[in-house]
Amino acid sequence: MAPASIPPTTEARDVFRELGYTVSEGGREFVAERKWRRVLVTALCMDDEDLDPYLADGGETPRLRCFVTWREHADDLQQHLTSVKPPYDWAVIGVDSDGDDFSVMEGAPGSP
């Protein structure tokens, strides 16, 4: 079982590669590209973490964002994003601790 206090960075890259994206190297934030899509991906652990710096627009942020967290935290992250209404299109991916399975949760209807 993966520690909940460590973001699922490797698992996030694996998910996007499995989906056919080219993935940049880097830390817990990376860019995944496929055809015309360019997605800024952020891996979050959610435990005692200040999410605001990771959710901020930053001015030059791609319009597509994806946040990857452990499956047991995915619902909470989706609810948090829905409540803060960020100015970009977003999705949440919840990954299993063994990295073998994941689920995709889209942003709120009518979000930017």
Starting from the edge strand earliest in sequence, which strands make up the sheet with 29-34, in order?
22-23, 29-34, 37-43, 64-70, 89-95, 102-106
CB 41 within 8 A of CB 29: yes
User: What's the pLDDT at 47?
Assistant: 66
Residue 25 has pLDDT above 70, yes or no: yes
CB 18 within 8 A of CB 95: no
92 confidence band (pLDDT: 50, 70, 90): very high
- pLDDT tens digit string along 46-86? 765 666 666 665 556 557 889 999 999 999 999 988 888 88
- Taking alpha carbons only, the member of 80, 84, 12 closest to residue 49 is 80
Record the pTM.
0.84
